[in-house]
Amino acid sequence: MQPNDIISVMAFHNALAKLNESLPKDIQKQLQAIAQDLKANPSNIRNLDIIAESYPPLDEVYQKELTTLKKEAGQRNKGFPPLPLPKESNQELTNSVIDTFSADDSVAAAKAKPNLLKRLWQFISGSK
């Protein structure tokens, strides 16, 4: 995954975890299709923005999360060249996303993994 993909995936996952209801079936099926694509090619992340925009409760939280993560990443990189992203955490992130998106209820799956993704983001962004 590219750095912008990582930010988008993290924001999307965080938004899922903050929803109070499960996703509509058509959106859940789109996430399951993304999970299948990621299994075949881990760099093949589709545009999550379009999926979020199709469901306003998700889009509202996703946009807030996206803004927050972009600010954090921007502050970390201010004045310094960006560090290369470690491949190990990318694989762990990809596996976590596949598990969450493949679930019958991605909202419930995302709620079950907040600590893992928070630790991954801290590792990737260099914050503690």
The H or E element containing residue 103 is: none
* Residue 25 one-letter amino acid: K
Residue 114's CB: how many other CB atoms inside 10 A?
13
Rounded CA gap, 63 and 53, in Å?
Answer: 9
pLDDT digits (tens, 9 = 90+) for 48-57: 889 999 999 9
Residue that is written with structure tokens 């590792």 in the block: 123
Domain ranges of the chain: 3-125
pLDDT, tens digit (0-9, with 9 covering 90-100), for 78-117: 555 555 544 444 777 788 889 999 999 999 998 887 655 5
Q: What is the pTM of this model?
A: 0.79
Alpha-carbon span 30 to 70, nearest angstrom: 25
